[in-house]
Amino acid sequence: MRRKASLVLLALAVFCTALSPLLRWYAFPRLAKIPAGQYQDMVLEARNATLLDYGTMKAEKVSRVTVVQTLKGNVEASEAIERTAGRDVVVWDSLSYVEGPDGEMVSKLPERYIFDAHTQEPVHATGESVDGDPVRREGIEFKWPFRTERRDYEYFDAQTRTSAPIHYKGTRDFRGVEVYYFEQTVPWTEVPFPEVMPVKGITAESVAKTGTTRWYTTVRRFWVEPVTGAPVYGEEIHREELRGGSLLGGRDKVTAFAGHVKMREDYIESTVSLVKSNRTVILLMTTYLPWGLLVLGVGLLSLSLYLEARGRGPDGPAAADDRPEPAPVSA
């Protein structure tokens, strides 16, 4: 009986030990992915910012500028691309909508971001764009990969339509969550005018004819939870200028926008809560279950060997079978 039990335990030990690396290195990379239909929004604010009044063409101090960012998964578009790409693809239609203290639009920047659902690497397909302009992204945008590493990444900047390194600056604690801090500085660069301007009757083409150009620089900061690859907090020190041309009335340049853009407090709280929940699910697949199964397998193996040894001991059934039969007693 003990021998049968030891064989059953040995089989379970082998199963648990084999399942441990399979769960971590085979199942996790295939199961962990961004849902194709995901929707999320984020509100950021720049208080005491500088904003251009297009009526007077003068920069003014304002109490607040609000940035509303939305990401909407386009399931139909992702399924169409998957048929030719041969892998799981996510298509995000995003919009960054900026409004002044009066609620009027300052600018809006639509994007279509196409990427691999598992690795977050860009997938180049028809429709990849920023503000209607076709682009070819290199590197990441919006989200880091699962199991983010302590290293620099290429990060795509929508204003310049180019990618540049975003630098890993160390590990920090953000509201009880261990995060990796990343920072990127985009130097002053000439960028296109938005397709939709804040003043009716003025277009990007009509402004370009005046010889006035638009320039932009920012310091971009992210606090990223490394297990999920999700930013729990982000901010930018953002500046835009209009330079030269007849639109400025002889001035060399004028500030179009300057402000320290930060996530609004209520969105910080909800983001941290969501990331903590997702982090637990991923750790279950990458750490808790694999290590638990490995420890269980070792424990079952030890118990199996113990029962086998007991079965072969002096008092065990195996030893009893080897004892010589007693000689018959003669009358």
In the predicted model, is pLDDT for residue 199 greater than 90?
no
Q: What is the pLDDT of residue 85?
A: 87
Above 50 in pLDDT, residue 331?
no
Tell me which of 187 and 323 has the higher pLDDT.
187
Tell whether the model's pLDDT for residue 10 goes beyond 90.
no
**Mean pLDDT in residue range 176-204:** 92
What pLDDT band is residue 324 in, cutting at 50, 70 and 90? low
Strands 253-263 and 230-243: antiparallel
pLDDT for residue 171: 97
Mean pLDDT across the stretch 159-167? 97
pLDDT of residue 30: 75
Average pLDDT score over residue span 125-150: 94
The burial of 137, by beta-carbon neighbours within 10 Å (0-12 exposed, 13-18 middle, 19 or more buried), is given as buried
- Decide if pLDDT at 146 tops 90: yes
Mind listing the pLDDT tens digit for each residue in 269-305?
A: 999 998 988 888 888 877 877 777 778 778 877 777 7
Which of 63-67, 171-175, 222-226, 320-324 shows the lowest per-residue confidence on average (mean pLDDT)? 320-324
The overall pTM is greater than 0.95: no
pLDDT at residue 312 is higher than 90: no
* pLDDT digits 0-9 by tens, 50-92: 999 887 889 999 999 999 999 999 999 999 999 888 899 999 9
